[in-house]
Amino acid sequence: MSTQPSAPTARDVVRQVAPKLIDLSEKVLFGDVWERPGLSKRDRSLITVAALTAMYRTDQLPGHLERALTNGVTREEIGEVITHLAFYAGWPSAMTAGQIARRVFDARKP
């Protein structure tokens, strides 16, 4: 039985160009900011999904939707965030986020 090597992650790709950016991401963003006690990881995930949706950061959104689900945000809550943001961030941003969320949900086991 042979196993396929996994595809490089965004971090793997960016590390080749800007290794310090990835070092800061891992140590400061995910090692410090995400670990601060002032907000739960669940709340941080909701905020991050909202921000990425509003800023139309479609490359980053799938990974953070996965993280949000892992951190206890429900699919229904993600749908509510996307719906709410349609009126603040714009309909196209929300529609695109909805399509991305559908792909993430479909790829993830229920």
Q: Are residues 46 and 32 in the same domain?
A: no
The parent domain of residue 30 ranges over: 9-38
Using one digit for the tens of pLDDT, what is the confidence trace for 20-57?
999 999 999 999 999 999 999 999 999 999 999 999 99
Q: Are residues 31 and 78 in the same domain?
A: no
Q: Are residues 52 and 82 in the same domain?
A: yes
Spatial CB neighbours of 80, under 8 Å, sequence gap ≥ 6: none
Matching residue, tokens 């590390």: 15
Nearest Cα residue to 68 out of 55, 54, 51: 51
Spatial CB neighbours of 46, under 8 Å, sequence gap ≥ 6: 68, 73, 77, 81
Measure the CA–CA gap between 105 and 98, rounded to whole angstroms: 10
Q: Are residues 24 and 52 in the same domain?
A: no
pTM: 0.87
